Amino acid sequence: MYSSSESLILGSLVVIYFLFLFGVSFYINRTSIKTYDDYNVAGRSVSIFPLILTFVGTAVGGATLLGFMQNGFLYGMGQQWLNLAILISGLLMLGILLKKIRALGEKYQMVTIADFTVLRFGEGARIPTVVSVLVANCALTGMQFAAIATVLNLTMGLNITTGILISWVLLTLKTYYGGMKSVIWQDAFHGTIQTVGIFVLFVVVIIASGGLGRVSEQAALANQSEFLSLLGISPSEVFVYLLTIGAYQFVRQDLWQRFWAAGSAKIARNGYWVSIILTFITGVFIVSTGVMGRFGLNIGEIDSSLTYYTIIGNVFSFPMVIVMVIALLATVISSADSFCMSGASSIINDIIKPRLKETPDLDSRLLKYSRLSVVIVSVFSLILALSIPKLVGLWVTGAAMLVAGLLAPVIAGLFWKKATRLGGTVAMWVGLIVAVTWQILGHPFGLHPIFVGFPISILMIIVVSLVTTDESYNI
């Protein structure tokens, strides 16, 4: 795809960019990270501008830019339901959940979702919550390793396995030193680059395609007008997206942590609603670019996993290709470190911290173990990336495990006073185990794990809570 000299230039810039980010993380580690809260929730003092961009930077990752564009190229505008699922859940989160999540986190100084589930359902809820969160966040972190590996494959000629290993080392080191404070401030930088880059690409592709009218004409000539319809997708696929990528937003630990990291409830609310709109528009542009690449640019039969690279190579000169590769790296890295930090928080806060004795040096020990937790999460993420390198599939799988295990008990715990400790714990374990088992068995009867694990989890929280009683709702 690139000449040897172009590959050398791109590869060198990728290395320089990573070194720059590592330098920033190391600087923040030396100057700003003094406590456990600094490392895990950025000192609970983030202002609105970096908060908006860290919301967007985390939401729009490698699977979004590479995977959504690939899906748009292969399947058409029906893939906008990926974005609609995220938009619908984001609006529900904003209107119904955010205020309560922020208030509880502020009152009890929460760091993870398990802080809430343990408070509401007792110690029995700790392990299933941690397992659900870790499965999802390791899958999502691994997904970014795989995305970076594709960049290294194209720019430096490295095979995917080697690329995954290199991205694992680089991202682990960056996150190990920088923590959440570095993640959020780098996301502000990355979020700006990726948003501007995606917008520019969308506009340029429209112009190069000859406008939306020509795209429509080309689709008709190819007898594929259905590619331009939002209804060009099966109902079952829509529900999979709604119940995985959509519903997953309600129990995204990195999202809850950003609500708690905001300087105030007002900053959390305003930052989130702006990010919902930006994320939706960005996602729409990405899928649409894939569709226009197929019909407007007439790029023909290609390896669909290279859709993004083929399109930017088609419409830009090499200097601008360099800029767009940097935009891709910004997109991927802004998600990778966020998901890794989210999973690491579960290990240190929910597994290690409860077992440590109160001593004068407790905070420094927690900080040390927080960094160790980053390494542990990155190793599990590496294993998943090597096992399931397909981007959107890995995202959907991780989201399904999280939703099946946590969504029903978390929503019930927030709003249903009759939900009991036993009901919440049973719902978590049963939903998670059923979903994981269904995934391992290879989706028997053609049913996605979310269609089995999530309904059973709902049933468990209702039935068990109705036949047991306690006063766990008094929080």
pLDDT < 70: residue spans in the chain:
1-2, 42-43, 63, 388-397
Q: What is the pLDDT of residues 42-74, one digit of tens each?
A: 668 788 888 888 888 777 877 678 888 998 999
Q: In angstroms, rounded to a whole number, what is the distance separating the alpha carbons of residues 64 and 82?
A: 9
Model pLDDT, residue 200: 93
Residues 6+ apart with CB under 8 A from 147: 61, 62, 63, 65, 66, 332, 391
Model pLDDT, residue 395: 60
Model pLDDT, residue 468: 93
Model pLDDT, residue 412: 95
Model pLDDT, residue 102: 96
The separation between CA 285 and the C-alpha centre of its own chain, rounded to angstroms, equals: 18
Model pLDDT, residue 230: 87
Model pLDDT, residue 155: 78
Confirm whether pTM is higher than 0.95: no
